[in-house]
Amino acid sequence: GPGAIIASLTIGTGELIFSSRGGAIFGYHILFVFAVISLLKWGLVVATSRHMVLTGVHPYERMIELPGPRGWLPITLLLMATVCLPIWISFHSGVLGNLTSWITGTRSVLNGAMDYVWGAAILIGVLLLSATGGYSVLERVQMFVVSALVFCAGLTLLLYNPEWRQLFLGLLPERLEYPAWLSGKYPEIARHSVWVECTRYVGVIGGAGFDYLAYTSWLREKSWGILPGRATPEQIAEIAADPNHEVRKWINAPLIDCAISFALVVAFSAVFVVSGAMILRVEHIVPNEDNLLNLQARFVTQIHPLLLPLYVAGAFLTMIGTLYGTIEIACAIADEIVRSFASEWSEHRARRLKRIVIGW
């Protein structure tokens, strides 16, 4: 199901960059934060999916019924997405541009602006893919990305053979503190409190709220439960009265799908936390705005220098998947919000709205 897409989306910036950063700053102890974040987000996406599977009604449509002006919350979320998602998509494109200029040795070209030239070119290519593709293409691409990444990450962890006891103890709560060397080497990080640093991880590990609302929308493509139809009041009463109703059995589908997705997120986070703690923390190096993905190459080159191309290919593939998925999320949530207000909705209108979103 769409859980593969959610896992692939978050494994991009969340695990490659911020898990490594958390491991470099806090060591294994940051794993507890990642586990709690994933558990809470899993609860959110399961609850919304359960409602969608049983009724065929998206949470955006239910939000229209809230007290106050009609539809004030979905409209507010749409306005937020209109401003925030282009910034988030630009960030993903910038990360890819940063990686590409490092690979090609062009970082100094145009006084450092080459990051943005590469990023813009990649973004245009992915926008064209999004304009011509659809959900099925997205799911296949992300399934391949996630499978390859999890296999390689698990193999890396076994090769490093970390302190397994410390790794599992990292899942238990413990007071987080900055290391003494951080203020000297990275004053821009140290000047913020530990709470601010942890909040950065909350935003990216396991994805964001719009990702889950898009997940709920993509359930229409899977035809789980009452979907792609919509339950009538009589059907809802029938489902509520019968604990063994056929539709109720479909609740297990998103439950299992999301559980696998978030388990992969935690496992992948653990791999990069370990790598950050064992390599970057020892060398007093932290991924920041100047080196978003280059430092993590040390995770594989310390096994063998010839593995650098594998890391580059994996990081590039991961971020491309994340960028592609984020654009599709923007299209999905715009479609769902507008659909919630429309009395009638058609494929022609959906295609037209998607062109507008991609254009924006």
- Asked whether the predicted pLDDT for residue 294 surpasses 70, the reply is no
Average pLDDT (154-179) is 86
Predicted confidence (pLDDT) per residue in 1-26, tens digit: 788 777 777 776 667 778 888 999 99
Percent with pLDDT over 70 in the chain:
96
Region 112-132: mean pLDDT is: 90
CA 64 from centre of chain: 27
Would you place residue 292 in the very low, low, confident or very high pLDDT band (cuts 50, 70, 90)?
low
How far apart (Å, rounded) are the C-alpha atoms in residues 260 and 206? 12
Q: Is 329 exposed, middle or buried (0-12, 13-18, 19+ CB in 10 A)?
A: buried
User: Which contacts of 58-64 are long-range, i.e. CB under 8 A and separated by 24 or more positions?
Assistant: 58/213, 58/216, 58/217, 58/336, 58/339, 58/340, 59/213, 59/216, 60/213, 60/333, 60/336, 60/337, 60/339, 60/340, 61/339, 61/340, 63/340, 64/340, 64/341
pLDDT over 90 percentage in the chain: 34
pLDDT of residue 13: 66
CA-nearest of 304, 300, 238 to 275 is: 300
**Nearest residue to 125 via CA among 101, 93, 147, 155:** 93
Residues 96-112 have a mean pLDDT of 86
Of the pLDDT bands very low, low, confident and very high (cuts 50, 70, 90), residue 269 is confident
Confidence bin at 314 (pLDDT 50/70/90): confident
Q: Hey, which of 76-85, 307-316, 345-354 has the most confident mean pLDDT?
A: 76-85
pLDDT level of residue 135 (50, 70, 90 thresholds): low
pLDDT band at 275 (very low <50, low <70, confident <90, very high): confident
Q: Which residue has the higher pLDDT, 56 or 324?
A: 56
Q: What is the pLDDT of residue 291?
A: 66
Query: Does 178 or 306 have the greater pLDDT score?
Result: 178
Output the pLDDT for position 146: 73
Q: For the chain, give percent helix, strand, coil, nearest 5.
A: 75, 0, 20
> What pTM, to 2 d.p., does this model score?
0.80
